[in-house]
Amino acid sequence: MFAFLSVTPNHFTTLRAWSVPGNSQREIPNSNWRNTMKRELRLVVVCVAVMVATAVQVQAALIVTAFESGGNVVFSGGGTVSLGALVVEATGVADSGLVQPAFGVFFLGDNPLDDAKTYKNTISGPSNLGPGLVHVFADSNTGDFFGVNALSPNLYFPNGFTTGGSLSGTSTYNGTTLNAMGLTEGTYVWSWGAGALGAADTLTLNVDANAVPEPTTLAIAFIGLLGIGYRRRK
């Protein structure tokens, strides 16, 4: 279908449309066209606003969620990270996914070559994740390796990772619970760097047995619902 607008000096008057083949012509009433355009514009504006807000919220830092699923505990998350305020302390061995709550240690993601960099500087945040004293190693790991040792404190990222890049990883602990691992539910935030140079960043761990979807998932679902509502109104 092809369409064009008939225009007067003051306003749009009508929308004319042709369907091919047959070259049949029909006019869409001006009021209907305006109402349709208003609905579409509202939908676009809301969707863009949600996506922009989500991008700012999620991509500005690393966010990890620890939750229970199917009789297992899963650590999963990611985001972007700035290394600008951090200093490399060592390069070498670092285990894949593990947790030691009493010492504020958690790693997630796969690190099969034990190849990571340890970073230090002024890193502030909680010193433990709960009473659990024992190292608990993940049964399976996927994606990028990263984590924190709050006792040192140190941060760990893949060897070769560059500032501003994205990370995403998952570690699964089979047949256990957050409580059995010695984890205390809550939100734990480690921060480093400051201000104007863009070096400030954070790593957030949300420990929640009944975790809700991440902001990106909620945004996508919300946009989908808006689209369904719009179709029904039509």
Delimit the domains of the chain by residue range: 2-56, 61-210
Closest of 176, 188, 185 to residue 210, by C-alpha: 185
Task: List the structure tokens of 185.
Answer: 């539910």
What DSSP designation does 147 have?
E
pLDDT digit of tens for each residue in the chain (234 aa)?
Answer: 444 444 444 444 444 444 445 555 555 555 565 665 555 555 444 444 434 443 433 344 899 999 999 999 999 999 999 988 899 998 876 778 999 999 999 999 998 777 889 999 889 999 999 999 999 999 999 999 999 999 889 999 998 899 999 999 999 999 999 999 999 999 999 999 875 455 689 999 999 999 864 554 344 344 444 444 444 455
For residue 224, give every residue at least 6 positions away whose Cβ sits within 8 Å of its Cβ, in sequence order, or none. none
**For residues 212 and 209, what is the distance between their CA atoms, to the nearest angstrom?**
9
pTM value? 0.66
Is residue 148 within 8 Å of residue 154, measured between CB atoms? Answer: yes
Find tokens 């945040």 and name the residue: 125
167 by Cβ neighbours in 10 Å (0-12 / 13-18 / 19+) ranks as buried
- The SS3 call for residue 181 is coil
